[in-house]
Structure 1
Amino acid sequence: MKNIVFLLCGSFNPVNYMHLRMFEIAKDFFNMHLKIEVKCGIISPVNDKYNKRGLVNSNHRLNMLKSALKSSNWVKLDTWECEQNQWSTTFDVLQHFQQAFNKNDKQDSKVILLCGADLFESFTVPGLWDPQHIKDIIKTFGIAVVTRYGTRIESVFQNLPFLNTLKDKIYIIHDPIPNEISSTKIRAAISRGQSIKYLLPEELIQYIQNHKLYV
């Protein structure tokens, strides 16, 4: 297989340690179990026009991501998706980055969608995903799914039998150190006035407090 580029799409509202850990977990899996080199990781925050309830402006989300990624030498933030005039589908974002690597990268890298089990499970939510869209993402790019405690990956395959024909491009990666941190839980804690210390880097906590986000 070609060198791998992980692409993680999402709101990052706010980015948290689990988002960043997913890259490390997936990299270990590909390096150690599949003997495949991981070239780099890309974080692509969703456009403001995604119109998700509680989604703060991309300027804030980008500032927090820049701060959180200071310690990484291989995971990079990309603002292309945020800079578009409209919301982009996951397939379109994957296609953009694959075309960019095809044009500029002589090492012939392969872009793979990196996601958590919650996104993978959302494939079964009626009306949320077009089945053809799911097929196109997996068949064209592949998907690396980092599981979380309590998730039922097998139920996704049961509810969507067509996934069984694409298993060779679906990489299920079990987190060796389960982590229950999520942006949803962090936002809920902030709205209740509870401490989020040690859930996020201190710089991000200060940023959220200074800009009165999620209150």
Structure 2
Amino acid sequence: MWVSGIALCTVGNMSRGSFNCQRVGVLLSAGSFSPPTLMHLLSLEQAREYVENTLHHPVWKGFLSPVHDAYQKPGLVAAKHRLQMCALAVKDSDWVQVDAWEAQQPCYSPTFQVVQSLRERLEAQRRLPDPGPSVFLVCGADLVASMNNPSIWPVEHLQKLFALCEVVALPRPALDATDEEALERVLRQYPAAIHYWKDAPVQCNISSTLVRERVAHGRSIRYLTPRAVENYIWEHGLYRQTNPSIESAQ
């Protein structure tokens, strides 16, 4: 798929590369990406370091998967814009691509379905050697803490998710005591499925919320997001409202 001249990954258009018989790692970062920030890219880079050096899986590819518009999170601009911004954010990367599948579905997809789809498409295209990829979901500790809430993460969804992938979680600087307690509870409950790199060397506090708020007040977002994404935001007038929901894709 192409958006304004930039190729978005549909898995079938990926090059095979060269592999030995070792199971390879594929990293997936699923989120709003409204907009993608340098923290998102740094998280993938650090996760790759952890997976290769600690878990001893050579990493083949990383993917950004923007959520469907039906998620309706405050500040979520239309998928058309988020796909474009993600493509711009990774255009110079030699290993990270954008997976448009989730954003292009007819409705919202739970995370386990996103992981399942990626695995199935990789295996169907025979892009990886047997026995197939080890998929690692890359996220922040705050997301892992939210797994303690069954209204957000039903137990059956977590069970399906952990049957399909492992999680690499990176620290977030500002977890409160309640979230810290929830995080510890989830880590104790799923010790084999979640790898928490508590001592990751670089801990970044740049958030999409911060970028949106600064844009809404006309402030600089330089060095918070890739320059191409910054230019896209200003050129398309995104996040000018203080509390935008789904902005027009026109």
| Same fold by TM-score greater than 0.5 | yes
Aligned residue-pair number: 213
Matches of 1:169 and 1:123, distance apart in 2: 13
Partner of 1:199: 224
Query: Quick one: which of 95, 114, 117 aligns to 2:138?
Result: 114
Matched, 1:166 2:190: yes
CA offset at residue 54 of structure 1? Answer: 2.1
Partner of 1:147: 171
Amino acid at match of 1:132: E
Amino acid at match of 2:29: L
Matches of 1:12 and 1:165, distance apart in 2: 29
Matched, 1:182 2:203: no
Amino acid at match of 1:142: E
Matches of 2:74 and 2:118, distance apart in 1: 27
Q: Quick check: 105-114 or 201-210, which moved more?
A: 105-114
Structure 1: runs of 5+ lacking an equivalent: none
Is contact 2:75–2:212 with CA below 8 Å preserved after alignment? Answer: no
CA offset at residue 157 of structure 1? Answer: 4.8
Query: Quick one: which of 74, 82, 98 aligns to 1:53?
Result: 74
CA RMSD across the alignment: 1.9
Partner of 1:14: 35
Matches of 2:129 and 2:145, distance apart in 1: 35
Is contact 1:148–1:175 with CA below 8 Å preserved after alignment? Answer: no
1:82–1:194 Cα change, 3 Å? same
Structure having the higher helix fraction is 1
CA offset at residue 150 of structure 1? Answer: 3.5
CA offset at residue 29 of structure 1? Answer: 1.0
Matches of 2:89 and 2:223, distance apart in 1: 13
CA offset at residue 154 of structure 1? Answer: 5.5
Amino acid at match of 2:70: K
Query: Quick one: which of 87, 90, 100 aligns to 1:79?
Result: 100
1:138–1:191 Cα change, 3 Å? same
1:121–1:47 Cα change, 3 Å? same
| TM-score, normalization by structure 1 | 0.91
- For residues 44-91 of structure 1, give each alpha carbon's deviation from its aligned partner in whole angstroms, at most 9, with x where no partner exists: 111112222221111111111111101210111111111111111101
Matches of 1:6 and 1:212, distance apart in 2: 31
Matches of 1:213 and 1:70, distance apart in 2: 20
Find the residue that maps to 1:71 and give its secondary structure.
coil
Partner of 1:26: 47
Partner of 1:156: 182
CA offset at residue 168 of structure 1? Answer: 1.6
Identity %: 34
Structure 2: runs of 5+ lacking an equivalent: 1-21, 241-250
Is contact 2:34–2:208 with CA below 8 Å preserved after alignment? Answer: yes
Q: Quick check: 100-109 or 78-87, which moved more?
A: 100-109
Matches of 1:154 and 1:50, distance apart in 2: 25
Matched, 1:138 2:171: no
Partner of 1:68: 89
Matches of 1:124 and 1:9, distance apart in 2: 19
- For residues 147-205 of structure 1, give each alpha carbon's deviation from its aligned partner in whole angstroms, at most 9, with x where no partner exists: 12243775235444xx5353122111233122110101111111122211121122211
